[in-house]
Amino acid sequence: MRASGKRQVHALFAVVLALAGMAGCASDGSNESSPAPSSTEATTTTTTIPGMRPSSGCGEPGDAAGPTTTTVVPLATTIAGEQRSAVISAEGVSSERPSPVVVLLHGMGQNAQVIDTNSDFPAQAEKSGVIVITPNAVGSPTMWRPSGDGPDADYISWLIDEVSGAYCVDESRVYLAGFSVGAAMATAYACAHQDRIAAVATVAVQFPGSCEQPMPIIGFHGSADPIVPFAAGAEGAVGGGAGTLANMATWAQVAGCDAEPVESEAAAKVTEFDWPNCDNGAEVRLYRVDGGVHAWPGTPGGGDAVPPEQSVDATALSLSFFARHHS
């Protein structure tokens, strides 16, 4: 991309990220909808997790009602006059055992297929019986409008409701994960819907959250990211230029964690920051990829000029992180 084109994209990206700071509470607006048909830790699905809330899509033991397996099913509707679509990956889920759900949000100019491939989330989630919903943003280029309400938030809520009715879902284990502006949207939605979101994972954007209660969050960011800088004071850094570490510290403050993180080496080029002693079992954790760029760590990437760092797997770590938390 030519330098002028990069500046234009960067400016547009910065404007959208700034909107995340104005994320509000969720609205109760109605929607017009059509019916919808390196570091790897084991994740588990069980029927005895404390606080489990089986959804209406769960059958009784021995009841064959409800879907048991599927491939990729489109989920479409119209919200605020916009045609919306998504894909769902739910291979091998059970109609009797409630499954966790991850809503995965792509970056600017991407779509569901791109982030599914670049993150490897559906393939890894399948191994532990996790359903992945990947919605498409709208616009040209495609762009999330980071907020806790509005048409994008309404669509995410609609998707969670539809999937919870069609599949056997543990409604206490619904999570959000996002890349770039998708990460900004994930944090905005999570803070506005803390009654239904158990934890959030962010890659390449760590916006200071607006949560009022502790929210478990795991983040990944390259120290050499040219689109959303990691360092404080850099042009384009989100959160008023405070930098990624300071932004994550705001999550730790709300969660009642210690003010200073514990720093350790997660891999040869990866530094881990943990804010300990959080309230209500929350966790606030950040992986800084030293020399890393604007990419999803641990996967081949989608033709990036600089491949993502392979020594840490953001998807595997996020799934393991999610498995420790419920709402």
Over 22-68, what HEC string results?
A: HCCCCCCCCCCCCCCCCCCCCCCCCCCCCCCCECCCCCCCCCCCCCC
- The answer to whether residue 211 scores a pLDDT higher than 50 is yes
Residue 36 within any structural domain of the chain: no
Task: Compute the average pLDDT of residues 97-116.
Answer: 96
Residue 193 within any structural domain of the chain: yes
pLDDT score recorded for residue 230: 96
Q: In what order do the strands lie in the sheet with 72-74?
A: 72-74, 86-89, 131-135, 99-105, 169-179, 199-203, 217-222, 284-289, 270-275, 262-267
Residue 15 within any structural domain of the chain: no
pLDDT score recorded for residue 13: 53
Band (37; pLDDT cuts 50, 70, 90)? very low
CA distance 105 to 147: 13
pLDDT score recorded for residue 302: 53
Neighbouring CB atoms inside 10 A of 118's CB total 23
The two structure tokens encoding residue 188: 């905005």
Give 138's DSSP letter. B
In tens, the pLDDT along 130-176 reads 999 999 999 999 999 999 999 999 999 999 999 999 999 999 999 99
Band (48; pLDDT cuts 50, 70, 90)? very low
Give 195's DSSP letter. T
Residue 31 within any structural domain of the chain: no
CA distance 151 to 145: 9
Neighbouring CB atoms inside 10 A of 80's CB total 14
Residue 8 within any structural domain of the chain: no
- The answer to whether residue 65 scores a pLDDT higher than 60 is no
Give the CATH number of the domain where residue 259 resides: 3.40.50.1820
Residue 61 within any structural domain of the chain: no
The answer to whether the beta carbons of residues 149 and 24 sit under 8 Å apart is yes
Task: Compute the average pLDDT of residues 109-126.
Answer: 94
The answer to whether the beta carbons of residues 144 and 152 sit under 8 Å apart is yes
Q: Which one is predicted more confidently, 14 or 28?
A: 14
Quick one: CA torsion of 56, 60, 62, 67, rounded to 10 degrees? 0
pLDDT score recorded for residue 16: 52
Q: Pick from 2-11, 12-21, 168-177 the range whose average pLDDT is largest.
A: 168-177
Helix (H, G, I), strand (E, B) or coil at 176: strand
Residue 18 within any structural domain of the chain: no
**Residue 129: domain span:** 67-323
The answer to whether the beta carbons of residues 206 and 229 sit under 8 Å apart is no
Q: Give the burial string for 134-173 (b: 16+ CB within 10 Å, else e).
A: bbbbbeeebbbbbbbbbbbbbbbbbbbbbbbebbbbbbbb
Among 69-73, 245-249, 263-267, the range scoring the smallest mean pLDDT is 69-73
Largest pairwise CA distance in the chain = 62
Please give the tally of structural domains in the chain.
1
- The answer to whether residue 301 scores a pLDDT higher than 70 is no
Q: Which residues lie below 8 Å from residue 305, measured CB to CB, with a gap of 6+?
A: none
Q: What percent of the chain has pLDDT over 70?
A: 78
Residue 29 within any structural domain of the chain: no
Report how far apart the first and last C-alpha atoms of the chain are (Å, whole number).
Answer: 43
